[in-house]
Every structure is written in structure tokens, then in C-alpha cells.
Structure 1
Amino acid sequence: MCKLTAGILFAGGGGDTEGAIAAGYKPQWAIENNPYAAAVYRKRFPSVQLIEQDITTLTNEFIRSLYSVDIIIGGSPCPDFSLAGKRTGIEGTRGQLFFEFVRFLEILQPPAFLWEQVSAVLSSGEGLDYIKIIDALLQVGYLGTWQVRNGNRHVPQNRERLFCVGIHRRYQSDSA
């Protein structure tokens, strides 16, 4: 049986990897900079190639050398978008990391992506940040949709998250 493959950005302790596996994907590689999260990830998913490096230091050549995957999954850090944070949005140091997600999409051009973020990203920058996010995804060839879902089904707290799913233009039917 052929399994679809996934690459995981901002891997943390492996929540997105666990979700990818549950959805039938075989994670090939993951990137995580935090040493504590990486230690948890290595223990939970020893068969996944874990790249423990600051994503901003990875060269385009290195990214091209990664195993080609069917989907890139990740949620860039949320403090700059969060209502509990400084609300610096897409201009903040962590908010800028979204563009690393886009860089991976542009270089690897997988058929699909899943990007997860706090729902407050929709109101960040008076709503203009999300327009910039969608525009960046369109610029690299992806069309998609989004939905806010409460993750309280999986964790004992209300945790509203935005899920943005996209497909590269070359995989879309003209009849759609």
C-alpha cells in the first residue's frame, strides 16, 4: 500500500506528526529548534528525520535536498498573533516565521499544505495580516480554504485554532 508522505515544520513535541499519522501520512522529516521539544519529539518519533536547527538558517539548497513530500504541515509560533501576546502580528519576530513556511512551500512545491494558527490571526493587524498571509500563499501557487475549530475534543481546554488547507494550482481540476 502506498502511503502519502508529510514534512513537519515547527514540530514541537509532535502533535502535528501524531495528527498526520492518524490521517494516514508517513512523516519523512521534521524541523524543530527548541531542544526540549526536540528531545520529546525524538523519543516519540525515532524513525522521522529530525532537523534540530533554527529554520531561518536552513539554506534553500538544504531544503531542496529534503525528501519530497505530499504535504507540509505546521503551525508557526503564535505569540505575535495571540490575544495574550504583544499583537505585533506578521511584523513580529515570531510572526515573520510564517514566511519560512511559505519558503518551504515555494521551494518544495508539495501538492498540499496544512497551516495551523491561533484564531486571533484573523484580527491581527486589524485583519490585514491574514490578507497578507493568504496573498503570500497565492504568490507561491496555493489556493485553499480555512476554518476555525475548537481543539477541546483533544485537550481539556477551549483552544480555538485556525486551520488553513491549500492545494497547489497544478493539482487542481479545471472543472472545480
Structure 2
Amino acid sequence: MPTTSLPQPVGVAEFFAGIGLMARGLELRGFRVDWANDIEAAKRDLYLANRPDAQKLFHLGDVRDVRGSDMPSAELATASFPCIDLSLAGNRKGLAGTQSGMFWEFARVLEEMGSARPRVTLLENVHGFATSHGGQDLSKALVRMSELGYSSDVIAINARHFVPQSRPRMFVIGVRNDLPKGAHVGVPPLSDVRPPWVRAIFERHPELPMHYLDLPDLPAGPEDLSGVVQRMESGDQRWWDAERTSAFVGSLSERQAARLEALRGGNETTWRTAYRRTRGGVATWEIRADGIAGCLRTTGGGSSKQALVQAGRGQVRCRWMTPLEYARLMGAGGFKTRARTDNQALFGFGDAVVVDVISWIADNYLLPALRPNGVGVSDAV
């Protein structure tokens, strides 16, 4: 991925920083993270393993303890606040929940910053944010951002346009003071980043300051896992043994079993991801029909980790996906993935943003809004 050098870097305050993939996507475009916060020590450890010079700027702790007076000057504030109360797989308590309700703490810190609050904000969450409590949670969030002086835009991007993972997410971009050059007020036309449900958000809120930018079409994206799979010898101990593989095959429904047999009979080796789900009180496995991964998730998000199925030429092998494969699916194949346990690494990546998506937003929205007179010089990494 190309990197960009800005004559004047964009300073970033990163809330709910996680393991640092938001930072990575922005840094590739010349942004500079000056402050980061997260409550999870394991995520902090991976964040610092990949940027040791961030020791002083990373603040481990509860966002409820952060005060606006302690914040450095920043042009951009990002917030990938917890999705567990908004996700369809979660408890649906919405912004009243103890996790997703941390949005209000982010807004409080911005309010306490007064006139020094960032010019642009970037919120990221699951699509369930738009439907939680019949859309009322998103409406309240948009109202709160307007009270802080921000005009909001909403876009939806599935990471499958960049990596072989279906990972739909929505982004709310707030802009203070003058709108970016070329911004429009009103209801946006339909596009791949503004499908009908996003357009309906604008239609429901004519009373709020909202705007939109014309954005390019998203790229097509990869169609298989060949660039993600960590190649292993047949004797590698991470492959499940015959008994466990047999139990996996035996749990498949008739339709799923037929899908696996078709893959097994192929002339080439192919890969599929699989989830373990509970159907009627019985644990079963389901193999994804297409060649990309399902959405990486955390156990707190209501779903198990993914397994990899390798099939073809009369053979079938299965194993859990590795931290490196998770990292590659998040656009962070060069990231150090070593954590206290593999599960901690998987949790960190499953709860993060895709690097390429953030860089695309930076290229096509954040830089035009914050550096309208030029974005710098691009060099190959």
C-alpha cells in the first residue's frame, strides 16, 4: 500500500484505539497520532509492539476518566466505540448499554475541549448502529454531534472491496465550521457507499446539519483467500486430527456436506472459512459458500472464531485460523501478532478496523476536508 508524506501532518486523537489498525490506516496517509486511549491492556500491548515510540502517547484506562483539559491539540478525533450493545449478535441495549454507551463519554470529552475540539471526527461502528432502537440511537448521536458544532455525513463500506473478508461497517464523519470544498447539503444520491438505508438517514433528519461529499466507486476487491492463507505442511500439528475432522464433517447439514464434497472433489486446492453455530440447541458447523472470510468477530460480539477448511484433490483438512491470517484479513499482514495467547491476538484483530478501508476514507474524505490544497508526495513503501 502506498504511503503519503504530508508537509504538515494531521494530528489525531484516537479514542478506543484497540491494537492500532485505525492508526496504521491513517499513518499510511501522513497523519500523526498524538494521543490514544483504550481500556484493554492486551490491546495496548499489541499497539505498542507495533509502534514502540507510542509509549508516552498511549493512555491505558477508562475513557470516563479522560478530561478535555488533558487532551492535546488535534485536527481529527476517531472513535471506534464498542459495538456489543448495537450489534445484531449482541444484546441490543444500544447507546444505553454500558459498552456502546461510551459514545456519550467521547462526546463529553469533545465538549470539554471547547473551541479546541477537532475540526473533523470519524465514528466507526456496525450497521446495527443505524437500526438500534428503531434508529433512535443514531438520531440521538447525530443530535449530540450537532450540539458540538458538527455537520454529519454517513457512509457504509464493506471491507470485502479491499480484503477477502465480508466486514460491513458504517462511518459517521463530522465536520466543524466550513464544509469541505464540493460538499452538498440535502439527500445524497444512491451509490455503493450510500445504499438506500444510508440515504434514508438523511431523509429522516432534514432538521439536522448534514452534508455529503461525492465519493468514487469502491474497488472490486479479492475473491478468494489465496493471499491470506498461511501455508502449512500436512504434518503441522495445527491441523486437526482425523477424529476432530470427522466430528466437523459429521456436524454438517446435508446442504453443507454436499458443499464440502464438491470442494473435496475439485482438481485444485481451495479454501473456505467455517463458523460453529448452535441450531436448535445443537452445535453445528457452517462453511461459507463463497471464497472469502466471514466477518471476524470477538466472542463478546456473539460469535465464535473462524476455522479454515482446505479441500481439493480428494482431501479435506481443517484447523483454526491463525493470528497471521486474521492480520492479513484486516489489511495488517506486516503487523506483529504475538500476544500472551493466540486468542488475545484474535480478539484484538476481530475488534478492529480494516487498514485499507481507513486509508481509503483518508484519501477520499479526510484529506480533502483537512488538507484541501494538496496532500503531499506519495512514495512506494
- TM, length-normalised to structure 1: 0.90
Q: Give runs of ≥4 in structure 1 deviating > 6 Å.
A: none
Task: Give the whole-Å Cα distance in 1 for the aligned partners of 2:129 and 2:163.
Answer: 21
Tell me the SS of whatever aligns to 1:137.
Answer: helix
CA separation in 2, counterparts of 1:93 and 1:4? Answer: 32
Q: Determine the C-alpha separation between the residues in 2 that align with 1:44 and 1:100.
A: 27
- Unaligned stretches of 5+ in structure 2? 1-6, 184-381
- The one of 11, 31, 42 equivalent to 1:5 is 11
Q: Which blocks of at least 5 consecutive residues in structure 1 are unaligned?
A: none
1:157 maps onto 2:165 in alignment:
yes
What secondary structure does 2:58 align onto? strand
2:26 maps to 1:23 = no
Amino acid at match of 2:108: R
User: Which amino acid in 1 is paired with 2:128?
Assistant: A
* 1:38 maps onto 2:44 in alignment: yes
Q: Deviations over 1:76-128 (max 9, x none)?
A: 00000000001110111112101122123223311111010001111100111
Specify the alignment match of 1:96 in structure 2.
101
Distance 1:75 1:154 in 2: 19
Residue of structure 2 in register with 1:107 after alignment:
112
Quote the offset at 1:23 in angstroms: 2.7
Is 2:85–2:92's contact at 8 Å kept on the other side of the alignment? yes
1:47: which partner in 2? Answer: 53
Q: The residue matched to 2:101 in structure 1 has which SS?
A: helix
3-state DSSP of counterpart to 1:115? strand
Matched residues in 1 for 2:35 and 2:162: separation? 24
Percent of pairs with identical residues: 28
1:77 alignment partner, one of 78, 82, 91? 82
Alignment match, 1:126: 134
1-side partners of 2:30 and 2:110: how far apart? 21
Bigger fraction of residues in helix: 1
Letter of the 1:105 counterpart: L
TM-score (norm 2): 0.43
Total equivalences in the alignment: 171
Q: Hey, what's the Cα distance between the residues in 2 that align with 1:9 and 1:46?
A: 18
Structure of larger gyration radius: 2
Are the counterparts in 1 of residues 157 and 168 from structure 2 also a CA contact under 8 Å?
A: yes
Amino acid at match of 1:42: L
SS in structure 2 of the partner of residue 77 of structure 1: coil
Worse overlay, 38-47 or 82-91? 38-47
- Does the residue aligned with 2:45 lie in a helix, a strand or coil? helix
Please say if residues 29 and 50 of structure 1, whose CA atoms lie closer than 8 Å, have aligned partners that are also in contact: yes
CA deviation digits over 1:127-174, x for unaligned, max 9?
A: 111101101111111112011110124543211101111111x3448x
The answer as to 2:140 corresponding to 1:135 is: no
- Give, in angstroms, the shift of residue 35 of structure 1: 0.7
How many angstroms apart in 1 are the aligned matches of 2:85 and 2:173? 21
Q: What CA RMSD, in Å, does the superposition of the two structures yield over aligned residues?
A: 1.7
SS state of the match for residue 161, structure 1? strand
Alpha carbons of structure 1 residues 142 and 129: separation in structure 2 relative to 1, 3 Å: same
Amino acid at match of 2:131: S
- Aligned mates of 2:163, 2:43 — CA distance in 1: 18
- Residues in 2 aligned to 1:156 and 1:33: alpha-carbon distance in whole angstroms: 29
CA contact (8 A) 1:111 1:171 kept: no
Asked if the contact 1:16/1:74 (under 8 Å) is kept, the reply is no
